Structure 1
Amino acid sequence: MGTLRYLLASLVLLSHLGYSMAGLNPGVIAVVIFYLLAGHVVAGLWQKWQSQPAATTRFYADRLWRILPQYFCALLVAAVLWRAGAQSPFLLRSPGLFEWLANLLVIPLGYFMYTGFDSFVLVPPAWSLAVELQFYLVAPWLLGLSPRRLALVMLASLAVFAAAQLQWLDTDHFGYRLLPGVLFIFLAGGAMRQPRLHSILLAFWLLMAAYLLMLLMHGPAVPYNREVALGLVLGLPVLKVLRLARPTGVWKSLDRLLANLSYGVFVWHFPALWSLHVQPGAVRPVQATAVLALSSLLALVTHYVLERAVWTKVRRFERLSA
């Protein structure tokens, strides 16, 4: 699934450069599919570890070591660029203690709509990392539920999402950015590993496909109801197909390489565009290609120089501590 993840990260990058597709924001579609993938991956990890000693601690450590090394490295470089005079709508506020803590702790960035932290955020896509981290905090408990109770949790989250679609709640916030309204998306990705929930997933997919068709034909178009619905309609069957795919040879090697680069492209593309003095808006294809190339290069270097070194030391420490 590495090729898919790299493509999704590239779509997020393009959306932040101002690109759209048929009036839709490709980054939103990509983030929704990322939610599905995160739920799918986490469910697989938990199935493997849940019966082992200290499973919850091991799970949390795995997720933090996966997310934080590149994030903190990108955060440091972005801070240097900010001090050097980088210009961005995300660097408008003179930061105080709370702004720095929010950037370091990540999770507060997921509530920027209430705190205003988006006026000083060094890795702007980190709000969605905040949503993922919140899901990881509750994942061991949720994934330990029976299929029936897990389905009830999904329905409760879907009810929040439906209230947002009806505009009883803010559609952008509760239908895309806050965990109560998108928890069911993570769980849908994980439910693909539970055959007893497949019939529920099929019914959910049909419902979402009908909803998407209604939105495209009649509206209303409010941020970001069409993109979220499209991400779900596309993401579930794509994930199903990729579960059955078995890459071999060159494709397998390329897929693994792109998997290693995908997260880095996600966290590095703002430092990359600030380094290249690219301003979102009327960005030419050659500029977009340069930002993607630099983001990929930074991802490549930090993965092989930083992440792998950190993971090796962590595994060595775990063996010594066992």
Structure 2
Amino acid sequence: MFEHLRRLILPSSPGALRLWLALVVVFHHVTRIEVGKAPVLVFFALSGYWVHQVWSRRYCNTVQPCLTFAISRWWRVAPIMVIAAVLCVAVMALVDHGGLSAVAAMPLRQAFSTLFVLGYAQMPVRPVGPAWSLDIEMQFYLVAPLLVPLVQRTSAIAALFAAFVVYTLGIAVYPELVLTSFLVPFVIGMVAARHQWTVSPRLAEGLQALAVLIVAAVCLSPWRTLLLGSEEGGWWPQLNILLAVLVLPQALVSVGRRGGPRDQIWADQSYVVYMLHWPGILLLRGIAWPEGAAWSAGLVAIGLATSLLCWAIHRYYDRPLNRRRARWVDSRRNAARVAVTKGDDSAPVFA
């Protein structure tokens, strides 16, 4: 029993950890306890790690690798983004959300940023609250084919220093939700992949446990509002960075483990949960719940409905599309092999 509880609280397989990170974001949105940025930073680092790996091992050996990579990543994130946006706008209309008029006032901009997953973080009103991070991800995907060779040709210290310089200049010039503001975690992940950084599993689990204990202690402390509240001047940004640093070693351990078919489902579900819990949050916040246990009952009902929705969307929508995407990328790899054999000029330039 203790072992099962440990795996639930401190998951270490790749899919389980990603789902755990997504559920921390859900916890943040339900409770309004400001711990939601920490898992996003870890997600960015994991993205940097895996992008370095798949570009080097897969995409650079395709026809028109940059275009293939960009289309493939868009194909992976956009379908769920569109579904989430439609559901969120419907819920906003249902609960008469105050931001609905602002959304309706810019239909073309909303449609473009939703469909292409670009410019969403800069929207004055975002129907899908957590989707700002997808915009950052998509910006990273567009420049990743340039960043991977740079990381491969420089030392770890030089790459991290350059990322920090770009971050500092970006904050000074344009302190908004753009890639430069989050470049450091992406580069940390890429450098970890490039130099095959390893961490002791026991140390990684201990640091992850410390992060959980810190959140629990802060929630029980009289300084909870200052440390994890949303007020201006609070310490939650610094605390989220600390939590991300503590969890990152476990993330680096997880990428070297094989989780099996079930773990892959959890990995895929993490993205679905991350996006599709937001309509439920809008519903939970938009209904005027009576005093007493009504809010808790509503939370349980919305949670169950959201879980069923995430399962159905993953099984009948997201997974089939993802399989088609993978087959398309494989076809581009096969075409590249033929092109190399024939001496075609369209062969990959990064092979």
TM-score by length of 2: 0.68
User: Do structure 1's residue 67 and structure 2's residue 77 form an aligned pair?
Assistant: yes
From 137, 144, 163, give the equivalent of 2:149: 144
> Is the Cα contact below 8 Å between 1:74 and 1:268 reproduced in 2?
yes
The alpha carbon displacement at 1:225 in A equals: 2.7
Q: Do the aligned partners of residues 7 and 286 (structure 1) sit closer, same or farther apart at CA in structure 2, a change above 3 Å counting?
A: farther
Cα pair 1:124 1:270 within 8 Å, conserved: yes
Q: 1:59 Cα shift? A: 1.5
Higher RCO by CA contacts (8 Å cutoff, separation 6 or greater): 2
Which among 223, 233, 236 is matched to residue 248 of structure 2? 236
Write the letter of the residue equivalent to 1:227.
N
Larger Rg: 2
Q: Is 1:184 the equivalent of 2:184?
A: yes
Cα pair distance change 1:242/1:286, threshold 3 Å: farther
Aligned equivalent of 1:260: 268
Number of positions where the alignment pairs a residue of Structure 1 with one of Structure 2 = 286
Counterpart secondary structure, 2:128: coil
The partner residue of 2:53 within 34, 44, 52 is 44
Structure 1 residues without counterparts, runs of 5 or longer: 200-212
Q: Over aligned residue pairs, what C-alpha RMSD do you find?
A: 3.7
Q: Distance in 2 between matches of 1:27 and 1:61?
A: 29
Letter in 2 for 1:229: L
Task: Assess if the C-alpha contact under 8 Å between 1:273 and 1:279 holds in 2.
Answer: no
Q: Which residue of 2 aligns with 1:132?
A: 137
Equivalent AA in structure 1 for residue 146 of structure 2 = W
User: Is the 1:12–1:30 Cα contact (8 Å) retained in structure 2?
Assistant: yes
Distance 1:99 1:59 in 2: 24
What is the aligned partner in structure 2 of residue 154 from structure 1? Answer: 160
Q: How far apart are residue 51 of structure 1 and its match?
A: 4.1
SS in 2 for 1:190: helix
Match of 2:195 in 1: 195
1:3–1:255: 8 Å Cα contact kept in structure 2? yes
Change in Cα spacing, 1:184 to 1:105, as seen in structure 2 (3 Å) is same
Residues 320 and 245 from structure 1, CA distance in 2 versus in 1: closer, same or farther, beyond 3 angstroms? Answer: closer
1:5 paired with 2:9, answer no
Query: How far did 1:89 drift?
Result: 5.6
Alignment correspondent of 1:32: 41
Name the CA distance, whole Å, in 2 between partners of 1:153 and 1:193. Answer: 13
**Which residue identity lines up with residue 154 of structure 2 in the other structure?**
R
User: Aligned residue for 1:299?
Assistant: 310
- Deviation, structure 1 residue 47: 1.6
Q: Give the share of equivalent positions with the same residue, in percent.
A: 24
| Separation in 2, partners of 1:280, 1:137 | 43
Instruction: Note if 1:269 corresponds to 2:277.
Output: yes
1:200-238 per-residue CA deviation (whole Å, 9 max, x = no partner) reads: xxxxxxxxxxxxx9xx9xx9855623312331x123311
Deviations 1:269-320 (A, max 9, x none): 1212345566699996655454443333222211211123323444555677
1:13–1:266 Cα contact (<8 Å) kept: yes
The correspondence for 1:107, drawn from 118, 126, 133, is 118
CA distance in 2, matches of 1:279, 1:149: 53
Residue 180 of structure 1 aligns to a residue whose secondary structure is: helix
Name the TM-score, length of structure 1 as normaliser.
0.74
Structure 2 residue runs of 5 or longer lacking an equivalent are: 1-13, 200-213, 219-226, 228-232, 336-351
Contact 2:95 2:286 (C-alpha < 8 Å) held by counterparts = no
**AA partner of residue 33 (structure 1):** V
Aligned partners of 2:167 and 2:181 also within 8 Å: yes
Equivalence for 1:203: none
